[in-house]
Amino acid sequence: MNLANQKTEADARISRRKALTITSALGLVGANAIAWFSNLLFFKPRVTYSEPSRFRIGRPDAFPLGTRLPLARQRVTIVRTEAGLAAISNTCTHLGCVIQTTDIGFDCPCHGSRFDAEGTVLGGPAPRPLPWFRVALSPSGELEVDTADPVAAGTFLVV
């Protein structure tokens, strides 16, 4: 029986060659998985190059009654009327051109769309009125515009 026990113990043990083969194979598979994961992360951009969707525009007293201030970089026009403050998009709803703010409304220089002072389409190929964005008062007392949060046309922040 002693000989039989020695044979089963010898069968149960793994040879040095087999142990090295298994360890090497696991190391190669792990390194390959890490390399693939790293490549996937490399191609996914970590930064955005667009303007932030929420930005501050200043204190309410910086916008007197009758203000129509275009902010070209953020692509919005700040409007102040008796009803309050509002932010209207400067992006044409036809093909996304940057529109110009005029005394009576907005004009698209690319394809001729025209909008009234509230962004309603007056003429041209634009299919929809200009979107309005939420204007809120931050805890610091400054106004914030959030272009990721459209609101119904005619929504003013009462200041």
In the chain, the number of structural domains is 2
| Statement: residue 53 has pLDDT above 60 | yes
Q: What is the mean pLDDT of the chain?
A: 84
CA 67, CA 53: separation in Å to the nearest integer? 22
**Dmax (CA) of the chain:** 106
pTM to 2 decimal places: 0.66
> Residue 117 domain-assigned?
yes
> What is the number of alpha carbons within 13 Å of residue 153 lying toward its C-beta?
12
Reported as a pLDDT band with limits 50, 70 and 90, residue 101 is: confident
> Residue 157 domain-assigned?
no
Provide the residue range defining the domain that includes 8: 2-43
> Residue 83 domain-assigned?
yes
**Residue 141 sits in the same domain as residue 89:** yes
| Statement: residue 21 has pLDDT above 90 | yes
